Amino acid sequence: MKFATKAIHAGIEPDPGTGAVMTPIFQTSTYAQDSPGVHKGFEYARTQNPTRSALEKNLAALENGLDAVCFSSGLAAQDAVMKLLKSGDEVLAVNDLYGGSYRQMVRVYAQWGLKSRFVDMYTASNVESEIGPDTKLIWIETPTNPMLNIVDIAAVCAIARSKGVLVCVDNTFASPYLQNPLDLGADIVLHSATKYIGGHSDVVHGCLIVKDADLAARLHFIQNATGAVPGPQDCFLVLRGIKTLHLRVQRACENAAVIAQYLAQHPKVEKVYWPGFESHPNHHVARKQMRMFGGMVSFDLKDNSLENANHVLSNTHLFTLAESLGGVESLIGHPASMTHASIPREERLKVGLTDSLIRLSVGIEDADDLIADLEQALDGVGKGVEVEDAPVVQAY
């Protein structure tokens, strides 16, 4: 089956009891047993739920995996991966990663002796010399957030395999429609399904997809033993979102391409970060491992004062100033104060994440309207118009 067919059919059967075409929301915590231990495969809903099982089968198919495990959020999914490790082990992570992932590594797991190091993986060969005796897991995010750097998944996985190190790829930014890390040698794929997979900004959800039965069993064990399971209604919403994943991501990518090109020629814009540009340092890698270049675009203004960035951030009407990404609606964000506020400023500046960087999650509206919205917001930049200070937003 090809992608669009899998999105709609994989793991989805009409309900055997009623014929319901859409997977029912099994809102139950427990299941009747005929006699002790004799049941229909479902005992207690932390362990199994049919709505969740259908979603797990579907996600496994979308990532060409063997099995998937669903969680109550993307960070809960990451937490389960971290629990595969033990005190003294080290995670080698890409140096420009989601702020919440960084925070979990350095503020939660470090205090239990689980080390993490953040390194430049954009030249894959760098990774080889960084792997030490304690390195047990390599953590890749690509495209990265918010600099839209690209890591060569196949090259890093080949190095990791030669050293017996596990690789987890956070595939949230690409979505399974654009990129399938298991095919490139990764052991675990993580998604914050809150983003493109759910796609409608109405649910928080996460998942892991693996191709190895033993690893799947260990993750299901951790999921059941530690309990960060999603509710059935959330699983239903994610299943519903997936039915249009390919259409939504395709349109978002098309819109992002038009917007990246528009911004690149704008006299007030200094730099646009988007992997589709031939001048992007790893454009050739993006071309090789992604189907399209994604719906995310970041940019910096020529006069890159915080005041000017705030003007743009406060004056768009279709692009809503908000955390998150990957929904049908376009969002604009300020990584330094929002998604990445939990990363120290010196660390942020090292990867080019300036105080004035603006990040767009391009939605599936009409590109002309989105450009007109950016045009009018950029128009006021540098005109000395009084704007309110952007509020200081809590780091999520």
195 classed as catalytic: yes
Note whether 241 binds ligand PLP by CB under 6 A. no
Note whether 204 binds ligand PLP by CB under 6 A. yes
Q: Which is nearer to ligand PLP, 192 or 356 (CB)?
A: 192
Bond into 181 cis (ω within 30): no
State which amino acid sits at residue 131: I
Q: How many residues of this chain interact with ligand PLP, rule: CB under 6 A?
A: 16
355, with CB counted inside 10 A (0-12, 13-18, 19+), is middle
Q: Reading across the β-sheet that carries 320-321, which strands appear in turn? A: 269-273, 296-301, 358-361, 331-333, 320-321
Q: Which is nearer to ligand PLP, 75 or 371 (CB)?
A: 75
Contact map string, positions 319 to 348, toward ligand PLP, x by CB under 6 A: ------------------------------
Contacts for 35 with CB less than 8 Å, ≥ 6 apart:
none
Q: What are phi and psi of 162, to 5 degrees?
A: -65, -20
- Would you list the DSSP string of 350-376? HTT--TT-EEEE--SS-HHHHHHHHHH
- Which span (166-174, 178-186, 215-223, 297-305) binds ligand PLP, by CB under 6 A? 166-174
Note whether 116 binds ligand PLP by CB under 6 A. no
Note whether 255 binds ligand PLP by CB under 6 A. no
Q: Which is nearer to ligand PLP, 175 or 282 (CB)?
A: 175
Chain residues 144-163 in contact with ligand PLP, contact rule CB under 6 A: 145
Q: Which is nearer to ligand PLP, 242 or 269 (CB)?
A: 242
Q: Which is nearer to ligand PLP, 175 or 308 (CB)?
A: 175
Q: How, if at all, do strands 296-301 and 358-361 pair?
A: antiparallel
- Would you list the DSSP string of 178-227? T--GGGGT-SEEEEETTTTTT-SS----EEEEES-HHHHHHHHHHHHHH-
- Give the CB-nearest residue to ligand PLP: 74
- Which span (54-62, 107-115, 125-133, 165-173) binds ligand PLP, by CB under 6 A? 165-173
What's 68's DSSP letter? E
Report how far residue 343's alpha carbon sits from residue 102's, in angstroms, rounded to the nearest whole number: 7
In whole angstroms, how close is the CB of 138 to ligand PLP at the nearest point? Answer: 16
Report how far residue 333's alpha carbon sits from residue 338's, in angstroms, rounded to the nearest whole number: 7
Note whether 206 binds ligand PLP by CB under 6 A. yes
Bond into 146 cis (ω within 30): yes
Q: Where are the beta strands (DSSP E) in the chain?
A: 67-71, 90-94, 115-119, 135-141, 166-170, 188-192, 206-210, 269-273, 296-301, 320-321, 331-333, 358-361
In whole angstroms, how close is the CB of 218 to ligand PLP at the nearest point? Answer: 21
In whole angstroms, how close is the CB of 360 to ligand PLP at the nearest point? Answer: 14
Note whether 141 binds ligand PLP by CB under 6 A. yes
| Interaxial angle between packed helices 367-379 and 306-315, expressed in degrees from 0 to 180 and rounded to the nearest 10 | 140
Between the alpha carbon of residue 140 and those of residues 32, 225, 275, the distances in Å are: 43, 26, 16
Catalytic option among 52, 67, 79, 98: 98
Note whether 172 binds ligand PLP by CB under 6 A. yes
Contact map string, positions 38 to 77, toward ligand PLP, x by CB under 6 A: -----------------------------------xxx--
- Which span (39-47, 189-197, 252-260, 293-301) binds ligand PLP, by CB under 6 A? 189-197
Report how far residue 213's alpha carbon sits from residue 211's, in angstroms, rounded to the nearest whole number: 7
- Which span (38-46, 98-106, 151-159, 251-259) binds ligand PLP, by CB under 6 A? 98-106
Q: Which is nearer to ligand PLP, 76 or 377 (CB)?
A: 76
- Which span (86-94, 169-177, 219-227, 256-264) binds ligand PLP, by CB under 6 A? 169-177
46 classed as catalytic: yes
98 classed as catalytic: yes
Task: Give the residue numbers marked as catalytic.
Answer: 46, 98, 170, 195
Q: Which residues contact ligand PLP by CB under 6 A?
A: 73-75, 98, 100-101, 141, 145, 170, 172-173, 192, 194-195, 204, 206
